[in-house]
Amino acid sequence: MSAKKRIILDCDPGHDDALAIVLACFSEEPELLGITTVAGNQTVDKTTRNALRVLSLIGKDIPVARGCERPLVGELVTAPEVHGESGLDGAELPEPRFGPVREHAVEFIVRTLRESPSPVTLIATGPLTNVALALRLAPDIAGKIERIVLMGGAARDANATPTAEFNIFVDPEAAHIVFTSGVPITMVGLDVTNRALLTPEEIQGLKDGGPVRRAFAGLLSFYAAANERLLGIEGAPLHDPLAVAAVIDPSVITTQRVHVAVELCGSHTRGTTAVDLYRVTGKPSNAEVALDLDLPRFKRMVLSALERADRSG
């Protein structure tokens, strides 16, 4: 029997990050070594508190390490219009049952990777600030990272500016460090995550479940309404859970090996991922970019994780 995949989830909860936590906690694969938080959807104080509240809701004691307060170079941009003032509006969640660990997220990542007997997969579902700093602080950890699976960017889509996706837009310098690190990368971007939709009917259906599903019915209704209002998307795009699903079962996405560069200084395009689908640059590939998904399989994974979370409560 092969050993369980070991993962760290670096996130900025955030509605879809919250569901990514549930999926990471309630799948047989993998072993979740810790959750690290970063500023993005909201301030890092709020995203850390939200990660802890989600863990209280689902009754899991996973170490949470609070990370960077702001991007490496630019000013922090948050997304209250999508995720609300708390970063997780739409349901009453329990107060955290425990606090974050004393270690900073970057130190947590470095130490955990160094101590791990086998390589660890980093799943990043927020701006890449913590991951980039960890790689700069301790370049030796690159050899201990099995792969970085990140939700961010797009070949042909955008949501934060006319050309950029939110996570990459918030910290393009960090994304640049990650994409040029030489570590194997899977980019799960808007090309697929905007199709990873839970319909309004499926969200309503969660109301018939236990406390975890009922909480997510409220959260995802809030989030779907924001997506409809701002982007004309009908349903809840489960961006971050798809990155976790791709680690649990890589066949849930179809990828193409290509070169990805991050635009750092375009006056209209900062934070855009330039994805060389047609190999016109001649540059060697540095990422597997997701271009298709198995939607029914993905939904089964998410809905059964929510069901398991309710059963375990």
Q: Which residues are catalytic?
A: 239
Scored b (16 or more CB within 10 A) or e, 235-262 reads bbbbbbbbbbbbbbeeebbebeebbbbb
DSSP letter for 38, please.
Answer: -
CB closer to ligand BDR, 24 vs 141: 24
Chain centroid to Cα 114, Å, comes to: 23
Q: How far is CA 138 from CA 33, 96, 150, 178, in A?
A: 19, 31, 20, 13
Nearest to 285 by CA among 188, 190, 179: 179
φ/ψ of 11, rounded to 5, equals: -150, 175
If one asks whether residue 193 binds Ca ion (CB under 5 A), the answer comes out as no
Encoding tokens for residue 29? 């694969």
CB closer to Ca ion, 48 vs 310: 48
* Residue 3 C-beta: closest distance to Ca ion, Å: 28
CB closer to Ca ion, 40 vs 100: 40
CB closer to ligand BDR, 159 vs 221: 159
> At CB < 8 A and 24+ separation, what contacts does 276-280 make?
277/155
Residue 94: is the preceding peptide bond cis (ω within 30°)?
no
Among 36, 41, 227, 272, the residue binding ligand BDR under the rule CB under 6 A is 41
If one asks whether residue 125 binds Ca ion (CB under 5 A), the answer comes out as yes
* Residue 94 C-beta: closest distance to Ca ion, Å: 21
**CB-based contacts of 289: which residues, under 8 Å, 6+ apart?**
155, 186, 187, 189, 191, 255, 256, 257, 258, 260, 275, 277
If one asks whether residue 14 binds ligand BDR (CB under 6 A), the answer comes out as yes
Q: Site mask, ligand BDR, residues 135-154, x = CB under 6 A?
A: ----------------x---
Among 6, 10, 17, 87, the residue binding ligand BDR under the rule CB under 6 A is 17
Among 32, 79, 245, 305, the residue binding ligand BDR under the rule CB under 6 A is 79
If one asks whether residue 191 binds ligand BDR (CB under 6 A), the answer comes out as no
Q: Which residue is nearest to ligand BDR (CB)?
A: 166
Residue 79's binding partner out of ligand BDR, Ca ion, none, with CB under 5 to 8 Å set by partner kind: ligand BDR
Does an H or E element contain 49, and which?
A: helix 44-58
DSSP letter for 31, please.
Answer: E
Among 46, 147, 239, 259, the residue binding ligand BDR under the rule CB under 6 A is 239
Nearest to 183 by CA among 133, 147, 132, 134: 147
If one asks whether residue 167 binds ligand BDR (CB under 6 A), the answer comes out as yes
If one asks whether residue 46 binds ligand BDR (CB under 6 A), the answer comes out as no
If one asks whether residue 126 binds Ca ion (CB under 5 A), the answer comes out as yes
Q: Site mask, Ca ion, residues 17-46, x = CB under 5 A?
A: x-----------------------------
Considering CB under 5 A, how many residues would be counted as binding Ca ion?
6
Q: How far is CA 304 from CA 21, 135, 299, 308, in A?
A: 14, 35, 8, 6
If one asks whether residue 159 binds ligand BDR (CB under 6 A), the answer comes out as yes
Q: Give the footprint of ligand BDR on residues 99-128 (CB under 6 A).
A: 125
CB closer to ligand BDR, 125 vs 130: 125
Encoding tokens for residue 5? 């995949």
Q: Which residues bind ligand BDR (CB under 6 A)?
A: 14, 16-17, 41, 79, 82, 125, 151, 159, 165-167, 239-240
